[in-house]
Chain A
Amino acid sequence: MNRRKSFVFSIEALVALAAAVAIAAYPLADAGTFYGEVHMAQLVQDLLEVTVKSPENAGALASFASAGNSPVLEGKYAAMLKQLGNYCLRLEASGKSMEVNCGNMTAGGSEFSAERIFWDGAGFTAAKLALSFNRGA
């Protein structure tokens, strides 16, 4: 009876210790990448920079702000995202919004956004661009 009791106790201790070791080891082993969010924040700024610094893109942005759509800008963003990764891009200006590569988007991911004020030919307008990782597409 005593033998049985001590044996059962040893198994319990073993299981508890194994679980403790596994729990202690898991977060360290799952550190993952470190600079993914820094890179996304940089990409948002990059996309806005190339939008406002290129005369062609700035013109397309101005027409988007007034008309609410710009196939030129949408096509360029889609081509850039194809090279950059599976990101969902949202552009807002003058109450208009555009989404690129946001199909099958799952909620809950980090979103990074940035703003620029640009001259649309008649006055200054703010453009906001948001980028998030599209896990669903």
Chain B
Amino acid sequence: MKKNQRKRGVFSTDVAIATLVLMTIAFICVLSLNSTARSLAWDSRLGLAESSALRLADFMLKDCGPPALSECDAQFAYSHVLSKSKVNAFAAGWAQFESLRPGKKMAAKILGLDGKTIVEAGSIGTDAACVRRVALLEGKEVILEACSE
């Protein structure tokens, strides 16, 4: 009788250890999947924001329609050469551009090589993706910064 009881006891300990191991493995898997999913979601969001910022900056340097800033002759754009009149009207026209893209937060600014802002438009949070490009404004080098959330 005592022998049988001892056997049941051993069996219970085995089950308990197996359950503990299983729960630990399940916990690790859930924890790992959770952190991987969060990381992927963050990367995906950042990737989309980066892509948007890159496309916005490229468009501003190489196209004629607002909010692009390049010098144009009819519809021919002189890439990397910014138009002074477009730069002056840039901030005023930005609201119209933003209204065409509801739910998409973007901002852009032009800086001199001394780091001082020449013109800026739009507001954006601190976790936005920003890209900087180089262009010419009245023959001088300027930095165009485009940001997207």
Which residues of A approach B to under 8 Å, CB–CB? 2-3, 6-7, 10-11, 13-14, 17-18, 21-22, 24-25, 28-29, 31-35, 38-39, 42-43, 46-47, 49-50, 53-56, 76, 79-80, 82-85
Contacts and interface: CB of A to CB of B under 8 A. Distances in A.
A85 B61 CA distance: 19
Interface in B1-57: 10, 13-14, 17-18, 21, 24-25, 28-29, 32-33, 35-36, 39-40, 43, 46-47, 50-51, 54
A79 B112 CA distance: 10
A83 B115 contact: yes
Nearest to A28: B36
Contact of B43 (A7, A32, A55, A85): A32
- Chief secondary structure at chain B's binding surface: helix
A46 B57 CA distance: 12
Interface residues of B, number: 41
Interface of B: 10, 13-14, 17-18, 21, 24-25, 28-29, 32-33, 35-36, 39-40, 43, 46-47, 50-51, 54, 58, 61, 78-81, 111, 113, 115, 131-136, 139-141, 143
B132 A21 contact: no
B80 A50 contact: yes
- Chief secondary structure at chain A's binding surface: helix
A6 B17 contact: yes
Contact of B54 (A3, A32, A42, A54): A42
A2 B17 CA distance: 13
5 contacts: A22-B32, A34-B43, A50-B135, A53-B80, A84-B134
Point out which of A11, A38, A55 has the most chain B C-beta atoms below 10 A from its C-beta: A38
Contacts of A42: 54, 58, 133
A56 to B, nearest CB: 7
Contacts of B40: 28-29, 31
Given A28-B39, A29-B39, A56-B139, A35 B132 contact: no
B41 to A, nearest CB: 11
Contacts of B36: 25, 28-29
